[in-house]
Amino acid sequence: MTTILIATKNEGKAKEFKAFFGPKGFKVKTLNEMDELPDIIENGKTFTENALIKAQTLTDKLKMTVLADDSGLMVDALDGAPGIFSARYAGDHDDAANNAKLLRELKGLPLSKRTATFHTSLAVTSVSKEPLIVAGNVKGLILDKQRGADGFGYDPLFYIPELDKTFAELTPIEKNKVSHRGKAVQVLSENFDDWWER
Ligand SMILES: O=P(O)(O)OP(=O)(O)OP(=O)(O)OC[C@H]1O[C@@H](n2cnc3c(O)ncnc32)[C@H](O)[C@@H]1O
Ligand SMILES: [Mg+2]
């Protein structure tokens, strides 16, 4: 049985990928189950570069098949910020502080000018294979106050007009149907088997 290492400590994310790779006959592990990890310096300029750095560093050191993802929020009125710095926008990895900073930065701007995109890049690497890279995007609006209690990160501010809901008002299944990560996993599912057999 081939093991695939999901390059995250976030068990919520890992669960989504387990649901995808388990039925394909892979044993799925996360970083929480590894004793020794190499230092990974995520110094890429794009989501894709960072996902690839993470995945390839782990494949090279551990000789395993690895999936890494890198995601974030790009706000048009802020020239794409927080972008690759989404996790630590307000300093620490603190969702409440990040959301508060985003609200401050957009203060007074009408809803029509608060357009934003969530992005996910996924990189899968394996010994002696070219990496497989896919991505997913979703567009929405940044509300001027939080709505909903589910999800994580910027979910309570990220509003989908067509659904009249924020990401924090969707169940995990509903969110996966429309989210950046859900779409990237969809593209992965269309390409993975061909890539694996190549
Ligand atoms: O790299 P790992 O360890 O998995 O954790 P991370 O927090 O860096 O995770 P991401 O690269 O996926 O995302 C970076 C930040 O972007 C935000 N973000 C990403 N996906 C999100 C989502 O679906 N909903 C809300 N916020 C999200 C959130 O603030 C994340 O901390
Ligand atoms: Mg990240």
Residue type, 30: T
Buried b / exposed e across 27-55, counting CB within 10 Å, b at 16+?
ebbbbeeeeeeeebeeebeebbbbbbbbb
Specify whether the CB–CB gap between 68 and 29 falls below 8 A.
Answer: no
Instruction: Please tell me the distance between residue 138's alpha carbon and the centre of ligand 1 in angstroms.
Output: 14
Distance CA 116, CA 20 (A): 28
* ipTM surpasses 0.90: yes
> According to the model, what pLDDT value does residue 93 have?
85
- Of the candidates 72, 11, 61, the one whose C-alpha atom is nearest the C-alpha of residue 39 is 61
pLDDT at 169: 98
Q: What is the pTM of this model?
A: 0.93
Domain total for the chain? 1
Bridge pairing between strands 132-142 and 165-166: unpaired
Task: Give the residue ranges of the chain where pLDDT is below 50.
Answer: none
What's the CA-to-centroid distance between 153 and ligand 1, angstroms? 7
Domain that holds residue 94: 3-197
- DSSP single-letter state for residue 93: S
The pick from 86, 102, 119, 173 for probing ligand 1's pocket by mutation, whose C-beta has the most ligand atoms within 8 angstroms, reads 86
Rounded Cα–Cα distance for residues 60 and 125 (Å): 9
Q: Rounded to whole angstroms, how far apart are CA atoms 94 and 92? A: 5
Residues 31/69, Cβ–Cβ less than 8 Å? no
pLDDT in the model for residue 99: 98
pLDDT of residue 125: 98
Q: What is the pLDDT of residues 9-22, one digit of tens each?
A: 888 788 888 888 98
**Closest protein CA for atom 13 of ligand 1:** 71
> What torsion, rounded to 10 degrees, do the Cα atoms 193, 135, 130, 39 define?
-120
Q: Quote the CA–CA distance of 41 and 7 in Å, as a whole number.
A: 13
* CATH number of the domain where residue 68 is located: 3.90.950.10
Identify whether the C-beta of residue 20 lies closer than 8 Å to the C-beta of residue 189.
yes
Q: Would you list which residues are annotated within the binding site?
A: 8-13, 70-71, 152-155, 175, 180-181
What is the reported pLDDT for 49?
Answer: 98
What per-residue string of b and e applies to 58-78 under the rule 16 or more CB within 10 Å gives b?
Answer: bbeebebbbbbbbbbbbbeeb
Residues lining ion ligand 2 (Cβ < 5 A) are 70
- Backbone phi, then psi, for 143, in 5-degree steps? -65, 170
